[in-house]
Amino acid sequence: GNREHTLVNALLFHTRELSSLSPERPGIVHRLDKETSGVMVVAKTNAAHLELSRQFKKHTIERRYIALVEGEIEFDEGVIDAPIKRHILDRKKMVVSFSGEAKGAHTVYKVLKRFQNYTAVALFPQTGRTHQLRVHLSFLGHPVLGDRTYGRVKSFTRLALHAMVLG
């Protein structure tokens, strides 16, 4: 709902050519949660937008994130295979659910470094569900630091989740 001071406004300042497939978000192929930092995909042409969207849908694009999470994750690496659906009462939140209407969600993780009470972890989402990484990590009992929705409000000054690689 923000019409000013957006990434799209900045892009349009530098170029007049952006994909028009999504009129409300010209050029934006891949979105990040509002608080997540990092790389995004933007298309200048409709043909590029269609091709990039196809690659995202087929999961042929590598996506790698890095996060700082609460607690010390026990295993060096693993797969979180937990379906996700919209929360029944709070429609802005997602939740792990093993009911029929939940959609499959898979996240591969690898511990980068353990600190006292925190863990740096690389995340490789295999699916693209809303809030997937944040929901999965919270489900494991290791919410992302600074996550006001799925973790503790005052654990960090901002969401410690960064999109590192899209390729």
- List, by residue number, the catalytic residues: 33
How many Å apart are CA 104 and CA 158, to the nearest integer?
Answer: 28
| Beta-strand relationship, 161-166 and 37-38 | parallel
Quote the CA–CA distance of 68 and 142 in Å, as a whole number: 9
Residues 6+ apart with CB under 8 A from 100: none
Collapsing DSSP to helix, strand or coil, 152 comes out as coil
Cα–Cα distance, 98 to 81 (Å, whole number): 11
78 bridge partner residues: 109
β-strands 118-125, 28-30: how paired?
unpaired
Helix residue spans in the chain (DSSP H): 7-14, 46-57, 132-139
